[in-house]
Amino acid sequence: MKDVLLEFYVNKFNFLTDSNEINMDFIPQILRRRLSNIDKCALYMLNQTYSNDVQNIVFSSQYGEVERLNKLIGQYTKDKEVSPNTFSGSVHNYSEGFFLLNKKNPVPYTAISAGENSISMGFLTAILSNYNNILFCYSDYFDNEHSKTFAVNLAKKNTSQAIKYQIKMKQNTAIEDEFDGYVKLFCGDIKSLNTSTYTIERVGDDKNL
C-alpha cells in the first residue's frame, strides 16, 4: 500500500512532567477546588499553548478522569448514591469543556481514548481535522507529583514561525515510547518518530518552538 503523506506545521509546543510546575492563576480561585489532578495538568498545558486563532481542540488520555471515577465507585459502594458534581466532572471531555467555558470561546472539541495508542490516535484525529488551526493536548496523571502532559498548536498552512512536519501512514515494527518520542520530536531532539500506524518526520529548520 502506497504511503499517504500529510503535511502540517507546529506553531507552539509545551510539555509537563511535574505537577509542581503548574500555576493555575488563570482560573478563578473559587473554581479551582473542582479540578482534579489531570484537570490541572491539562488546563495548564492548554492555556500555555492556546492562541486566539484556534478553531478546534482535541484532547487525548488513556485513563482520563480515573480519580473521579474511583471516588464515584467508592461513594456508590458505601452510600448507594453519588455526588452530581463529581459525576458531571467524570466525563472524558471535562477538561476541554471547562477550558473553553473559562476562555468564553465555544470552538468544537473532541476527546479520544484508545488505550496504549491514545496519543497517536488522538494526534491523528487532530491532523485529520477539517479545521486549519488545531490545539492537541494529551494528559495522563500517575501519582501525587508526576504527569505526562503535552500540548501542541498545529496548523495546516504555513506561518512565519512554524516548523514543517510530514506524516506517512505506515505500520512500524520498531515502536518508540510515544510521550517521550513526541516530546523529543517537537523539541527538535530527533528528526522522526515511529508509531504503530504512522511515521512523523520533521522537515523544517531548527527554530526553537
Please indicate whether residue 141 or residue 144 has the higher confidence score (pLDDT): 141
Element (H, E) at 69: helix 66-79
Local confidence band at 1 (pLDDT 50, 70, 90 cut-offs): very low
- CA atoms of 119 and 37, how far apart (whole Å): 19
Does any domain span residue 117? yes
Q: What is the CATH classification number for the domain harbouring 50?
A: 3.40.47.10
Does any domain span residue 170? no
Average of pLDDT values for 40-58?
Answer: 93
Please indicate whether residue 29 or residue 82 has the higher confidence score (pLDDT): 29
Residue keyed to cell 470561546 = 105
* pLDDT tens for each residue of 50-78: 999 999 999 998 876 667 666 666 665 66
- CA atoms of 50 and 71, how far apart (whole Å): 31
pTM of the model: 0.85
Side chain identity at residue 27, one-letter code: I
Whether 47 shows a pLDDT value over 90: the answer reads yes
Range of the domain at 17: 13-161
Does any domain span residue 189? no
Number of domains present in the structure of the chain: 1
Q: In percent, how much of the chain has pLDDT > 70?
A: 77
Give the pLDDT score at 71. 67
If you ran DSSP here, which 8-state letter would residue 204 be given?
Answer: S
